[in-house]
Amino acid sequence: MTAAHPLRLVLVGRQGAGKGTQCVRVSHRYAIPHISTGDMLRAAVAAGSPFGQLAKSFMDRGELVPDSVINGVIAERLEQPDARLRGFVLDGFPRTKDQAEALNELLSPASLHIVINLEVPVDLVLRRLSSRRVCSVCGSIYSDELPPKTAGICDNCGGELIQREDDTEAAILRRLEIYEETTTPLLGLYADLGLLETVDGIGTPDEVLGRISDVLARHGFSGGG
């Protein structure tokens, strides 16, 4: 099977595990859309819509946006032709049992191919998140370990690098707490379905991408780039 066929992939992992960093690379290599609920919500916040204002009130505190809201956002996105034809790599969804059930129903009669759990220990994600900076224009992600060529400026588009509003210590700790309580139970659920693969997220982004590609190759998916 090649990248021309649909690939329906989910990347899970605690905050700062590198989901966003890897999903961008996987999206390019396998020519599938990167669907990030966090990015979609931040775009709504930036647009200043009533929906964005509602989302912001949850995001800034590190709380999850209600399932009913986010399930509707994903349902609309998965109906788009690119996702229907090529599949997707989902970043940040599902995070609750209700969201996993909603995803299952949305995809039926098709289903997910693989769920990859990017495993990085808490002490390392805390170090990564405390220095994370994102491009205010294109969303590219940097940190002390992965710095831009010029401090404060995005390598890709020259945009200004900023700190995410939910990268405060309190919001990071709350997001990690919710992850352990609400999202880790999904790992057991996907393991029981035979869909779960765990990948070590420590190392350079290229090393981690190589491990993800090895897993996908074992499942019959090869990337173009």
Q: Which positions lie near ligand AP5, rule CB under 6 A?
A: 13, 15-21, 37-38, 41, 58-59, 62-65, 70, 92-93, 95, 99, 128-129, 132, 141-143, 145-146, 166, 175, 203-205, 208
Closest Cα partner for 11 from 154, 148, 21, 165?
A: 21
Name the catalytic one among 86, 128, 133, 175: 175
Which CB sits closer to ligand AP5, 3 or 161? 161
Tokens of 186: 């999904």
Closer CB to ligand AP5, 32 or 161, in the complex: 161
Overall size of the chain counted in residues: 225
Whether 211 is a known active-site residue: answer no
**Nearest-angstrom CA–CA distance, 212 and 199:** 7
For 214, the enclosing helix (H) or strand (E) is: helix 205-218
Quote the least distance from Cβ 16 to ligand AP5, whole Å: 4
Instruction: Estimate the share of the chain in helix, then strand, then coil, as percent rounded to the nearest 5.
Output: 50, 15, 35
Q: In whole angstroms, how close is the CB of 63 to ligand AP5 at the nearest point?
A: 6
Q: Is 84 a catalytic residue?
A: no
CA-wise closest residue to 114 among 225, 16, 12, 184: 12
Please tell me the distance from the alpha carbon of residue 11 to that of residue 21, in angstroms, as a whole number: 11
- Nearest CB to ligand AP5, comparing residues 46 and 85: 46
In the complex, minimum distance from the CB of residue 95 to ligand AP5, in angstroms, rounded to a whole number: 4
Q: Does 201 appear as a known binding residue? A: no
132 is in an annotated binding site: yes
| Cα–Cα nearest to 89, from 20, 1, 4, 27 | 27
CB of 1 to ligand AP5, least distance (A): 27
95 labelled catalytic: yes
Residue 164 annotated among the catalytic residues of the structure: yes
Q: Yes or no: say if 71 and 57 are a contact pair by the CB < 8 Å rule.
A: no
Does 19 participate in catalysis according to the annotation? yes
- Whose Cβ is closer to ligand AP5: residue 2's or residue 156's? 156
The binding site for Zn(2+) consists of: 135, 138, 154, 157
Catalytic site positions: 19, 95, 132, 164, 175
